[in-house]
């Protein structure tokens, strides 16, 4: 529970770095597919979604939804900060939360189905790749549905 309070407080602080004139998002991201590394489960790995990103002075804020690996819609909210960037590519770290009601009975680390998420986000041109730790990140996940890592690929379009 303290983890969610901390994430929520950080998200509010970071959102304050966005100005009222910045209500229009800076980019749209379209998640397309995922790969659950070393998972034996028959999970949905076609994961269309939509996310809007607002670029702040200190962090970027992204809100959206995705058709998750359990074939349900999962809203999410993340904050990210670039670690490295050049003219074409960038790498950022991100943290946040996503609503996975399917995991409520499998972990104690949730708030009404909202679980912590985080990882690395890399973009090169219009393509992005996210890598998130899997097995055990939200408690003692184990068994065939657990994955060592979760990879997500999609496209990014900037608003100009």
Residue 6: alpha-carbon gap to chain centroid: 17
Name which of 50, 44, 52, 51 is nearest 68 in CA terms.
Answer: 44
CATH number at residue 7: 2.40.160
Domain that holds residue 125: 2-158
Specify the number of domains making up the chain: 1
User: What is the tens place of the pLDDT at every residue in 83-125?
Assistant: 999 999 999 999 999 998 887 777 777 888 898 899 999 999 9
Show the DSSP H helices in the chain as ranges: 2-15
User: What is the tens place of the pLDDT at every residue in 44-58?
Assistant: 899 999 999 999 989
Instruction: Please check whether residue 50 is in contact with residue 30, taking contact to mean a CB–CB distance below 8 angstroms.
Output: yes
User: Global pTM?
Assistant: 0.81
Residue 118: alpha-carbon gap to chain centroid: 6
């Amino acid at each position: 529970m303290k983890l969610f309070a901390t994430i929520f407080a950080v998200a509010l602080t970071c959102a304050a770095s966005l100005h009222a004139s910045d209500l229009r998002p800076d980019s749209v991201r379209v998640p397309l597919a995922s790969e659950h590394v070393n998972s034996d489960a028959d999970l949905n790995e076609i994961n269309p979604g939509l996310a809007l990103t607002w670029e702040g002075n200190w962090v970027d804020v992204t809100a959206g939804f995705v058709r998750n690996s359990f074939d349900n819609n999962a809203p999410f909210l993340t904050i990210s900060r670039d670690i490295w960037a050049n003219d074409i590519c960038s790498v950022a770290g991100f943290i946040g939360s996503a609503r996975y009601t399917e995991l409520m009975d499998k972990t104690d680390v949730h708030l009404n189905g909202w679980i912590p998420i985080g990882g690395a986000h890399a973009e090169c041109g219009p393509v992005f790749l996210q890598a998130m730790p899997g097995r055990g990140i939200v408690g003692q996940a184990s068994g065939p549905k657990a994955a060592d890592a979760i990879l997500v690929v999609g496209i990014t379009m900037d608003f100009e």
